[in-house]
Chains A and B, each alone.
Chain A
Amino acid sequence: MGINLWGLVSQAFVFGVMLIVLAKWAFPALMKTMDQRERVIREGVDNAEKAKREVAEAEKRVEALLDQARRDAQDAIAKATLAAEHVRRDIELDAQSRARDIISQAERRIQQEVAQARSQLRQEVADLAIQAAEHVVGNSMDQTTSRKLVSEFVTQSRDLQC
């Protein structure tokens, strides 16, 4: 079978040397690197988780701000609508008042013009009547007296009409 003490011892020695070198230097060095890598990866994962949480929180904050902005915008729109309604109403009232003023001014002017026209007409009628009377009765009456008589007549006739 070839089994002998030297053969066993020499093979065991080779294994022993290899075991000592691996156990003392190689495995610890390798495990140190692996542990270091694991730490780095874990830190990376933790940081990613943290960043994810922060992003979620930021999204929540952004959402809240957007909600607030939407509410503010709606309030502003409502206020603006109200103010516009007020302004519209004011403008309308102002316009109505101005229209009334214009109408009343126009009425007054019309009345004045009517009065003026009536006066003018009365004068013309008087003149015509005087001319007619002068033509009928001749020059027996002077012009001032005739005008006074016609004017009294017209006034009486208007009073009678009223």
Chain B
Amino acid sequence: MLWKLPNIGVPSDALFYIGPFPVYNTLLLSIVSALIVLGFFYFATRKASIIPTPIQNLVEWVTETLLHLCEEVAGKVNGRRFFPWVASIFLLVLMANWWEVIPGVETIGTINHEVPGCPAHPQTVLGIFLVDHASSNCITPWLRPPSTDLNFTIALAIISFVATQWYGFKILGWRLQLGRYFSVREGPMGLVVGLLELILEPLRILSLSFRLFGNLFAGDVLLLVIAFLVPFVGAIPFYFLELFVGFIQAFVFAFLTLIFMTLGTTSHGHEDPEEEHAAETAHATHQRAEVALSHGEKSAS
């Protein structure tokens, strides 16, 4: 065996400290991901014209597709309202997911002397296959995909949850919004349903964050293991699989956020026809998405 399997751990690694605050390798790529997205938009809008440049065309296409999706699910008004959240989540998560197929990510780093059996002095390593057999499992990567860090996925899920609740209070009013969870008028059944809603809402944070984390972390480990078993060429087909999974998971995260926002801003009465249509669309889409997800996860596993 030429190399040892790299040390796989869930927690991200602190690269350095700014005062008391650690800067993690996942945070670094998260910042880079955000900067790349902002860079795309900067270059697309810098000299925006009616006849678009290729980069403007690409960014407009993505924006328009996401905007239409939001308007289709949440209606014209709410769709435009939710669009920045959904689009930002999608773009950031997509970039964060696709890092795992970039060469150098997780293979360039420092020899971690805290791992048992590793050299005591930190040493920079430019590629996991360039180190000797004894140290090949000791690397602390400088760059790690943000989606393989629970802090990233949970932070986004909490933001999605808070934004949903905030829009619920803003659009429905505090009485209707609280009435979803504490429904006294509809009798004991209403209370039970409200209680279930109250329990389910925060559980969405778990489902969103762990779905994304699980898929991306598993993909990451898969690439590492395949690269360890069949170096250089064995992982190539899995790169395409991971590109696809990364896109799907980013879409699912953003789409579920959109659906939760739509459902969270729909009252039970449905006085507004557009609101009723949006609620029906969101319910139906949610069910379809759940079915597709379960199928997808089964086939992926």
Contacts and interface: CB of A to CB of B under 8 A. Distances in A.
Dominant SS among interface residues on chain B: helix
A21 B38 contact: yes
Contact of B154 (A8, A23, A31): A8
A106 B41 CA distance: 115
A23 B89 CA distance: 12
Dominant SS among interface residues on chain A: helix
A37 B52 CA distance: 10
Contact of B21 (A10, A14, A30): A10
Contacts, number: 112
A29 B45 contact: yes
Contact of B37 (A6, A18, A25): A18
Interface stretch (B59-67, B98-106, B191-199, B273-281): B59-67
B212 interface: no
A114 to B, nearest CB: 109
A27 B44 CA distance: 11
A3 B150 contact: yes
Contact of B64 (A18, A19, A34): A34
Contact of A30 (B24, B60, B88, B89): B60
A14 B149 contact: no
A32 B56 CA distance: 13
Nearest to B151: A7
Contacts of B146: 11
B151 A30 contact: no
Given A7-B149, A8-B154, A15-B156, A23 B88 contact: yes
B11 A1 contact: yes
Contacts of B149: 2, 7, 11
A23 B63 contact: no
A7 B48 contact: no
B48 to A, nearest CB: 4
A17 interface: yes
A8 B59 contact: no
A12 B159 contact: yes
Contact of A7 (B12, B37, B42, B159): B12
A1 to B, nearest CB: 6
Interface in B39-80: 41-42, 44-45, 48-50, 52, 56, 59-60, 63-64, 67
A26 B45 contact: yes
B95 to A, nearest CB: 10
B50 A30 contact: no
A27 B83 contact: yes
B251 interface: no
A71 B128 CA distance: 95
Given A3-B150, A26-B41, A30-B59, 7 more contacts: A1-B10, A2-B12, A7-B152, A11-B156, A14-B30, A26-B42, A30-B44
Closest 5 CB pairs of A and B: A2-B11, A7-B151, A23-B84, A26-B41, A11-B155
